């Protein structure tokens, strides 16, 4: 098996403790990479707190009206200078979040280069546990050229996360594609 092929089990092992248990996030948000924050809906709807934190961009990985989604939009943040992007992802194993990897990575990159590299982005979903960390991991792979192990471990080191198995499989496929194309620098 080529070294760039990653299994679902290997990624789940990185997400669980020594007893095989997943942990729930201990705070509403965490800075998981310089100027990239991952968190939940509570923080996403607290405009004053976001401004105090210096957030310039918001990526809602759960845009929509159902129980699984967060009903914010550019209009929600209209009174602020925050730049908004919404992705209508569902947190289910069969949802293809990979179709949003490039769009999300582009938006995160745009946020980080904003104001001569002083931008800060808040990437959220309902709980900040599956959808939003998946998009940040994809960004780290696509724009920072990290392999999936490294990207997942960096995010997991800062925040308790648990992308669903479907999302993890899609990250494995991204890893395989980027490795085949020679786009991962830290294999």
Q: Which of 85, 125, 169, 172 is an active site residue?
A: 125
CA–CA gap between residue 73 and residue 129 (Å, rounded): 20
* Neighbour tally for 39: CB within 10 Å: 27
8 A C-beta contact, residue 45 and residue 38: no
Residue found under tokens 């550019």: 74
147: tokens are: 């392999």
Beta strands in the chain (DSSP E): 29-33, 36-39, 57-60, 83-86, 121-124
Active-site residue, 169 included: no
| CA distance linking residue 176 with residue 148, whole number of Å | 9
Structure tokens at 41: 């809906």
Active site residues: 125
């Amino acid at each position: 098996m080529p070294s760039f092929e990653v299994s679902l089990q290997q990624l789940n092992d990185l997400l669980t403790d020594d007893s095989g248990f997943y942990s729930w996030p201990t705070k509403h948000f965490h800075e998981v990479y310089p100027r990239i924050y991952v968190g939940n809906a509570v923080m996403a709807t607290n405009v004053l707190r976001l401004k105090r934190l210096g957030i310039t961009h918001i990526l809602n990985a759960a845009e929509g009206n159902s129980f699984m989604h967060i009903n914010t939009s550019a209009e929600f943040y209209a009174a602020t200078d925050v730049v908004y992007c919404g992705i209508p992802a569902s947190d289910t194993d069969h949802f293809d979040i990979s179709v949003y990897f490039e769009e999300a990575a582009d938006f995160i990159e745009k946020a980080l280069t904003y104001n001569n590299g002083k931008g800060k982005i808040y990437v959220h979903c309902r709980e900040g546990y599956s959808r939003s960390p998946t998009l940040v991991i994809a960004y780290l792979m696509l724009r920072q050229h990290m392999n999936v192990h490294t990207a997942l471990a960096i995010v997991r080191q800062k925040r308790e996360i648990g992308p669903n198995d479907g999302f993890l499989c899609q990250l494995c496929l991204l890893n395989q594609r980027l490795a085949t194309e020679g786009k991962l620098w830290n294999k």
